[in-house]
């Protein structure tokens, strides 16, 4: 019989809210579209509260034990080995299209983050007005071009 996260002994030092947050976090953090901000809103907690929880050794241990059940260490190690092999593809001079596909799928989140960073350096906002850029959805293309040209002239 396999063990579930509900079989893990809850540390005495954790209150009901901490247990709820830990379970929600572990069960959802690997899902597509998961964000901590959405979790904070869903659970009605602040980011500060969550990070205080994370500093609690009993909370950490509880989360880690649940992680171990949901993602066994041997499977996690297999994924890490696979990632290392895919990283080596970046060194190849002639990558096949299938290898490029594997690389870009595996590191999609890093590629997207790099694109956002580069766009923000150019004064563009590809996140639709969020993310701290000074541009909103209503900023005209002409205004953005003017700002970029001003930066390039400097």
- Output the pTM of the full model: 0.49
Taking the C-alpha atoms of residue 62 and residue 20, their distance in angstroms, rounded to an integer, is 11
Q: Could you tell me the two tokens for 109?
A: 């989140």
13 in the same domain as 34: yes
12-34 confidence digits (pLDDT tens): 999 999 999 999 999 898 788 88
CB-based contacts of 31: which residues, under 8 Å, 6+ apart?
none
Q: What is the mean pLDDT of the chain?
A: 80
Query: Are residue 14 and residue 66 in the same domain, yes or no?
Result: yes
Tell me the pLDDT band of 114, cut-offs 50, 70 and 90. Answer: confident
pLDDT for position 92? 85
Q: How many domains does the chain have?
A: 3
For range 30-57, the mean pLDDT? 92
Q: At what angle do helices 57-70 and 16-28 cross, to 10 degrees?
A: 40
Domain of 119 in residue numbering reads as 107-154
């Amino acid at each position: 019989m396999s063990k579930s996260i509900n079989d893990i002994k809850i540390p005495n030092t954790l209150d009901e809210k901490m247990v709820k947050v830990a379970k929600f976090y572990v069960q959802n953090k690997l899902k597509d579209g998961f964000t901590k901000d959405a979790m904070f809103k869903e659970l009605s907690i602040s980011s500060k509260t969550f990070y205080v929880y994370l500093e609690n050794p009993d909370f950490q241990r509880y989360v880690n034990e649940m992680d171990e059940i949901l993602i066994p260490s041997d499977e996690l190690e297999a994924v890490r080995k696979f990632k290392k092999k895919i990283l080596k593809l970046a060194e190849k001079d002639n990558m096949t299209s299938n290898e490029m596909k594997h690389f870009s799928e595996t590191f999609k989140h890093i590629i997207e983050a790099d694109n956002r960073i580069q766009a923000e350096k150019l004064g563009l906002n590809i996140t639709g007005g969020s993310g701290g850029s000074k541009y909103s959805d209503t900023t005209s293309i002409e205004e953005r071009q003017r700002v970029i040209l001003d930066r390039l002239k400097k």
